[in-house]
Structure 1
């Protein structure tokens, strides 16, 4: 079962909902989000708020918002208007182990590990993350750094992974969560990743967010429609040329 059971939004702490991030349509009317599965996906268009919420969860977990765990000393850029300031996280039991992995700031995290010296590489496959391809370094971190009881937050991990390596990621997630020791919350655009069995999927394209089935996601529908009718889709797409 999931360690993080619920996120409560304390809107009475907000003076105005007309400024970012409190004005995000998918979030500004919501009171709580519940977690029942070990694997939960946040999906939606760019700018819909999924990464903003994931970052706020990370801050409340004590993780560095540029990536890392509670022990990471990478400098954060956090302002007083962070969404984390109005969140209450309900745990059963509370876990302190975990990690935030962000594709957007992964370079900064890899540089931080280099700054610690070669002795730090043991937890990352034995060599600098910069000495591996983007996809290799992602998987190396996942395979070597993740483990045990913890909550793992992934922000668009598919940005560094080929379709084949996204399948590898699914297997890693399965190995970590199958005995109930790991909880994952993943913001993604990938229809491959969000196909993970028995996962909960929250769509941020609604106001407030709602839980949806895999086949109801735009990602699945657009991908399936394109693959099944590629010529027709391209003809319609280029019809004004």
Structure 2
């Protein structure tokens, strides 16, 4: 299994303090991404072929991924909350043994959502064009037309086609097919399988969004196979117990003080799931 990034360092509180001490202006409402990771004690990540960042909302998972992606200049599809302080912050970060191959990228929920909207927009445009062709067909079929010059030749061809063909054949011959419509979960899973190929570094921000439990398990299998057999390295921010349970993954608990690696079975959210099903164990007994 390959690693293209072995360690990533973020500025600690002292480094951030020295930066602020050198600022000439202080009239800022936000210094993002400063003052997010350092107060939580996240100074560095030791990375494996599969590394997972776990933590509650506001724990800094997405911030850490975005900082890493920008420092490594990874590809991305959708814009993100990049403030004017990002270049200053990135100068204080370092990446050991970093050699992300071409095609390495960060994938966020915004990327997946933007792709699904693009598909819907494409289909909407096809639908509008279809209606235009229906009108064009009827107009041409019953037109009172007489060829006056060579400039009318294209119009004559359209009229002859409309009178020779059925409406459906006329429209189908001039229109591309709709992109197959899928559920949000199916589209999201398809996006991951298309974007993740081989021999590259991928940062995934909560990839479980829109996915059913069965799809999350399928995604976990796909990611593990990509790491084991296709030379991929992953850094994943997630709450999903199905992804947290990926065999061999190093999991950082960003809710711990300081953040540290922990087994997935000791994580708070996983324990919440465990307690929930224990409380409802009697409900399942009726299924036997």
TM-score tier after normalising by the smaller chain length: 0.7 to 0.9
142-151 or 217-226, which moves further after superposition?
Answer: 142-151
1:191 matches 2:241 = yes
Structure showing greater Rg: 2
Q: 2:19 is paired with a residue of what secondary structure?
A: coil
Calculate the aligned-residue CA RMSD, in Å.
3.1
Alignment of 1:144-159 (within 5 A): 144-159=194-209
State the 1:174 CA deviation: 1.9
* Deviation string, structure 1 residues 39-61 (Cα, Å, up to 9, x no partner): 11100110010111011111123
State the 1:16 CA deviation: 3.3
Q: TM-score, normalised by structure 2?
A: 0.65
- 8 Å CA contact 2:11–2:38 kept in 1: the answer is no
Q: 1:3 is paired with a residue of what secondary structure?
A: coil
Q: TM-score, normalised by structure 1?
A: 0.76
- 8 Å CA contact 1:10–1:31 kept in 2: the answer is yes
Counterpart of 1:143?
Answer: 193
Number of aligned residue pairs: 215
171-180 or 220-229, which moves further after superposition?
Answer: 171-180
Counterpart of 1:217?
Answer: 267
Counterpart of 1:46?
Answer: 57
Alignment of 1:52-131 (within 5 A): 52-63=63-74, 67-68=76-77, 74-75=78-79, 77-82=81-86, 83-91=89-97, 93-111=99-117, 131=181
* Deviation string, structure 1 residues 117-167 (Cα, Å, up to 9, x no partner): xxxxxxxxx9859x4322111211222221121011111111110000001
172-181 or 159-168, which moves further after superposition?
Answer: 172-181
CA distance in 2, matches of 1:222, 1:197: 21
CA distance in 2, matches of 1:41, 1:26: 19
Unaligned runs of 5+ in 1: 69-73, 117-125, 233-241
